[in-house]
Amino acid sequence: MTMISRRTFMLAATAVGALAVAGVAIAEVPKLAQKDTYKVGFAQTESNNPWRIAQTNSMKAEAEKLGFQLVYTDAAGSAAKQVADVNSMIAQGVDVIFLAPREEKPLIPAVMAAKKAGIPVILLDRSVDPSLAKAGEDYLTFIGSNFVEEGRRIAEWLVKNANGKSKIIELEGTTGSSPANDRKKGFDEAIQAAGGFEIVASQTGDFARDKGRQVAEALLQAHPDADIIYAHNDEMAMGAIAALEAAGKVPGKDVLVLSIDGGKEAVQAVVDGKIAAVVECNPRFGPKAFETMIRYAKGEAIDPILVNEDKFYDASNAAAELANAY
Ligand code: GZL
């Protein structure tokens, strides 16, 4: 047991006491006053693919519709810059911060700095390490998809439709991001439980099309017997399709390609037979994000996780659903 000095103990007790006297409940999310208009921060992680752009456009459109002032930043794929962006919003005195944390751990200081400054944070689309920051205590809530379920649903479809194919190349999303961690967890665990499949290689393509193509090319050369590619997002799936065609392989025939995001291009690829199945991960966060903020300001209790419903596309419904894809 670590012994601490009497002096240290007294200092700690005094600090906690002072917080309590000041009415600062350590485990409470800062409140949001009910006002006619707000100054809202949205700290975006990057704008390197259609999904990100669709999410940003949805947030900007909703802020404009409500007449709220939006302080928007783009971290250009840097977690360190995203932390700086949040700190800048705090300095500007925004009322609330929407944050899409690029990775689960590096954004914790930003979440804690906002809480300390008395600004509630709502996490959009990606989450933070739950052992380091908790919904309902350190930030208000996480609004987004259940990424474990997305990976599991792809595996469930594959088990039913593999038709003898069994050797999987997995293209992972951004290292350290919650979608990459959980889409891997959901898929790998379900495939393991089903038996009869082998993940011959699993490597990050950083959710990017060209990186996904390069990694797919290298892994296809290293594993010429691979007959399934599971990509954590459409961008990497489209990159993998380019790699397959460059190698003289027919996507959908020689190799099944599976994806997540369900953007219009990917759903069209399902119609064309190049992608076998895709789970949607809808990026249109604006309405739900701002509705949640306003409900909180009114004093409503907000659940710690608000899960978006994800559609599923394969050959049975892609043509009919194409017009509705984002
Ligand atoms: C998922 C989101 C992911 C998308 C990718 O909520 O964080 O980031 O699946 C995007 O396309 O880059």
Summarised one tens digit per residue, pLDDT across range 5-35 is 665 556 555 544 554 445 444 579 999 999 9
Distance 179 CA to ligand 1 centre (A): 7
For residue 10, the model assigns a pLDDT of: 60
Residue ranges making up the domain that contains 210 = 147-281
Strand 228-231 to 69-74 pairing: unpaired
If asked whether residues 201 and 128 sit together in one domain, one would say: no
For residue 24, the model assigns a pLDDT of: 46
What is the pTM for the complete model shown?
Answer: 0.90
CA 96 to the chain's CA centroid: 20
Task: Tell me the β-bridge partners of 172.
Answer: 204
If asked whether residues 221 and 296 sit together in one domain, one would say: no
Measured by CA distance, the residue closest to atom 2 of ligand 1 is 125
If asked whether residues 263 and 168 sit together in one domain, one would say: yes
Measured by CA distance, the residue closest to atom 12 of ligand 1 is 207
In whole angstroms, how large is the CA radius of gyration of the chain?
22
Tell me whether residue 269 is in a domain: yes
- The C-alpha atoms of residue 244 and residue 265 are separated, in whole angstroms, by 17
- Judged against a pLDDT cut of 80, whether residue 104 lies above it is answered with yes
- The C-alpha atoms of residue 240 and residue 276 are separated, in whole angstroms, by 13
Using CA atoms in the order 283, 257, 101, 50, what is the torsion angle rounded to 10 degrees? Answer: -40
If asked whether residues 256 and 230 sit together in one domain, one would say: yes
Q: Are 212 and 230 in contact (CB under 8 A)?
A: no
Inter-CA distances, 278 with 152, 175, 223, 246, 247, Å: 12, 21, 23, 22, 23
For residue 13, the model assigns a pLDDT of: 52
For residue 14, the model assigns a pLDDT of: 55
Q: What average pLDDT does the structure give for the chain? A: 94
Tell me whether residue 249 is in a domain: yes
- Judged against a pLDDT cut of 90, whether residue 42 lies above it is answered with yes
If asked whether residues 51 and 138 sit together in one domain, one would say: yes
Distance 148 CA to ligand 1 centre (A): 13
For range 219-247, the mean pLDDT: 98
Residue among 192, 287, 270, 272 at smallest CA distance from 234:
270
Tell me whether residue 4 is in a domain: no
- Judged against a pLDDT cut of 80, whether residue 222 lies above it is answered with yes
Identity at 117, one-letter amino acid code: A
Tell me whether residue 5 is in a domain: no
For residue 301, the model assigns a pLDDT of: 97
Tell me whether residue 323 is in a domain: no
Distance 6 CA to ligand 1 centre (A): 49
Identity at 270, one-letter amino acid code: V
- The C-alpha atoms of residue 113 and residue 107 are separated, in whole angstroms, by 10
Using CA atoms in the order 206, 212, 217, 219, what is the torsion angle rounded to 10 degrees? Answer: 50
If asked whether residues 178 and 250 sit together in one domain, one would say: yes
In tens, the pLDDT along 203-217 reads 999 999 999 999 999
* Structural domains counted in the chain: 2
Residue 314 pLDDT class (50, 70, 90 cuts): very high
Distance 241 CA to ligand 1 centre (A): 19
For residue 20, the model assigns a pLDDT of: 46
Structure tokens at 224: 């010429």
Tell me whether residue 19 is in a domain: no
Helix (H, G, I), strand (E, B) or coil at 314: strand
Tell me whether residue 9 is in a domain: no
**Which residues form ligand 1's pocket by a CB distance below 6 Å?**
49, 51-52, 125-126, 144-145, 179, 207, 233, 235, 260-261, 281
Tell me whether residue 326 is in a domain: no
If asked whether residues 98 and 120 sit together in one domain, one would say: yes
In tens, the pLDDT along 151-190 reads 999 999 999 999 999 999 999 999 999 999 999 999 999 9
CATH of the domain at 70: 3.40.50.2300
Task: For residue 46, give the ligand 1 atom closest to its CA.
Answer: 12
If asked whether residues 126 and 225 sit together in one domain, one would say: no
Distance 52 CA to ligand 1 centre (A): 7
In tens, the pLDDT along 280-313 reads 999 999 999 999 999 999 999 999 999 999 999 9
If asked whether residues 189 and 238 sit together in one domain, one would say: yes
Any residues with CB less than 8 A from the CB of 132 and at least 6 apart, and which? 105, 108
For residue 26, the model assigns a pLDDT of: 55
Q: Are 203 and 171 in contact (CB under 8 A)?
A: yes
If asked whether residues 67 and 129 sit together in one domain, one would say: yes
Task: For residue 261, give the ligand 1 atom closest to its CA.
Answer: 9
Residue 250 pLDDT class (50, 70, 90 cuts): very high
If asked whether residues 130 and 171 sit together in one domain, one would say: no
If asked whether residues 63 and 124 sit together in one domain, one would say: yes
Percent of the chain with pLDDT over 90: 91
Buried b (16+ CB within 10 A) or exposed e, 207-235: bbbebbbebbbebbeeeeebbbbbbbbbb
Inter-CA distances, 267 with 47, 161, 262, Å: 21, 18, 6
